[in-house]
Amino acid sequence: MNTPELVGMNILMVTPYFFPERGGLENYAYNIAKRLVKKGWNITVVCSTRENKNGGVTIDNIKILRLKPNFILSNTPIKFSLFSEILNRLRSGNFDLINAHTPVPYFADVSAMVSKLCNDIPFVLTYHNDLIKDSFLMNVVAKMYNFTINLNTLSLAKKIITPSPFCYNESRFLQKFKDKLVWIPPGVDIEKYSTKESKRLHELYDLPESSKVVLFVGAMNRGHTHKGVHYLLRAFKKVLEKINDVYLVLVGKGDMIPEYQSMCVELKIFDRVVFTGFVEESDLIRFYQSSDVVVLPSTTVQEGFGMVLIEAGACGKPVIGTRVGGMKYVIKDGETGLLVPPKDEMALAKAIVKLLQDEDMAKKMGINGRKLVEEKYTWNRSIRLTEDVYTNVALKGEFT
């Protein structure tokens, strides 16, 4: 329950990146922050910036201090003065609690150390996913971090929030901290993400009105090859052997797009694949509504949740994912969508064909997906659970 005396308390949120940066962590932190502010909480965010200088800005009544890092190592911003920046902010701001976000290292780790120095300010960690890297060298570094600094940060947290059902149930780094672990999944604005029908994709990209659309939404850069776009393109080649009037639409930006486009040429599917680049949320919603099935073919446990799965579900669309990470918890196999083995392009193609050909099944899964989102994945529920954690930690140093 919420404690009235502490509603409106001051929270210092520390995150490596923040809105308008895009990503699962950024989306989660931003939605939690702006909705708490609307309920009377005071939120200040300390984050990094890729712009040329440090600076403060206010977005949706969230006070944001952006710090230009000295350098960025594999997406991890390093700011030498971060410790003093956070400490000075705490000393001048009368904060009741620090909430840092990870798995991107450094910012959360420094926050934990500052909290330890300021014994009267409790530290809450939001742990989005285990840190895993694709390259051999960076994965070695990640493992060293996971078994040293990361464990120290976890031990210093009064409470650990994870949006990921995979991390809550399976992360080997979190199991020893199970007594202070809370699952608070992300949510969807179910008023904006509706089951309204649309032909936005067909209109924008001159697709035949009768054509089917397979939709992928995600980052397409070298740090996100685990999204499985390579396998999706090869699977789509097989889909076209069974169904003629279908297009694959890939939403997102990244430095891997030229490579994916070359693959399309080699596979002779280039005329059936659309790369949209980044799109604003208002168009993204209509893209979901224009699609027939949404696919997320990720290959590793780096996919701790799969936000696009519940966004698609909120729009009444069936989904296909792989049995890795959080997706096997988010998708109810055979009810809201289909699960296939990772890196199995044949199984992926069969699942896509099945949902495109069986319209009754696809429609039923879409209806079930919408019901699931309304029950478990709304921001109102996420905020209520977050308030409970914040309030109990700040008031008692514990969660009940």
| Average pLDDT over every residue of 15-43 | 93
Q: What percent of the chain has pLDDT over 90?
A: 77
Q: Rounded distance, CA 371 to CA 288, Å?
A: 17
Task: State residue 247 phi and psi, 5-degree precision.
Answer: -130, 150
User: Is the confidence at residue 53, as pLDDT, over 80?
Assistant: no
pLDDT at 130: 78
User: Is the confidence at residue 183, as pLDDT, over 80?
Assistant: yes
Q: Rounded distance, CA 241 to CA 312, Å?
A: 26
**Please, which pLDDT band fits residue 136 given cuts at 50, 70 and 90?**
low
**Please, which pLDDT band fits residue 139 given cuts at 50, 70 and 90?**
low
The bridge status of strand 62-67 relative to strand 55-59 is: antiparallel
Token pair, residue 19, equals: 């809105």
pLDDT at 7: 60
| DSSP class of 1 | -
Q: CA torsion, points 380, 200, 351, 265, in degrees to nearest 10? A: -130
pLDDT at 339: 98
pLDDT at 148: 77
pLDDT at 118: 87
| Average pLDDT over every residue of 17-46 | 93
Residue 397 CB-density burial (10 A; 0-12 exposed, 13-18 middle, 19+ buried): exposed
Beta bridge partners of 192: none
Alpha carbon 317 to its chain centroid, in Å, reads 19
Domain boundaries, the chain: 4-187+378-396, 200-376
User: Is the confidence at residue 175, as pLDDT, over 50?
Assistant: yes
Say which residue, 397 or 374, is predicted with more confidence.
374
**Please, which pLDDT band fits residue 138 given cuts at 50, 70 and 90?**
low
Residue 74 CB-density burial (10 A; 0-12 exposed, 13-18 middle, 19+ buried): middle
Residue 104, Cβ neighbours under 10 Å: how many? 20
User: Is the confidence at residue 4, as pLDDT, over 60?
Assistant: no
Per-residue pLDDT reduced to its tens digit, 101-120 = 998 889 999 999 999 998 77
Sequential DSSP letters for 31-46: HHHHHHHHTT-EEEEE
Cβ proximity of 8 and 43 under 8 Å:
no
Domains 4-187+378-396 and 200-376 share a fold: yes
User: Is the confidence at residue 21, as pLDDT, over 90?
Assistant: no
Token pair, residue 135, equals: 């390259």
Average pLDDT over the chain reads: 91
Per-residue pLDDT reduced to its tens digit, 322-336 = 999 999 999 999 999
User: Is the confidence at residue 192, as pLDDT, over 60?
Assistant: yes
| Average pLDDT over every residue of 137-163 | 83
Per-residue pLDDT reduced to its tens digit, 69-98 = 999 887 789 999 999 999 998 988 789 999
Per-residue pLDDT reduced to its tens digit, 154-173 = 999 999 999 999 999 999 88
pLDDT at 104: 84
Cα angle 38-307-46, degrees, rounded to a multiple of 5 = 50
**Please, which pLDDT band fits residue 3 given cuts at 50, 70 and 90?**
very low
User: Is the confidence at residue 55, as pLDDT, over 90?
Assistant: no
Span 4-187+378-396: which CATH code?
3.40.50.2000
User: Is the confidence at residue 36, as pLDDT, over 80?
Assistant: yes
User: Is the confidence at residue 254, as pLDDT, over 50?
Assistant: yes
CA dihedral (97, 102, 107, 108) positive or negative: positive
Span 200-376: which CATH code?
3.40.50.2000
Question: In the block, which residue shows the tokens 């979901």?
Answer: 288
Closest CA to 252 of 22, 83, 11: 22
pLDDT at 172: 87
Helical residues (DSSP H) of the chain, grouped into ranges: 24-38, 82-93, 107-117, 136-146, 149-156, 165-170, 200-204, 229-242, 257-267, 281-290, 307-314, 327-330, 345-357, 359-376, 379-396
**Please, which pLDDT band fits residue 132 given cuts at 50, 70 and 90?**
low
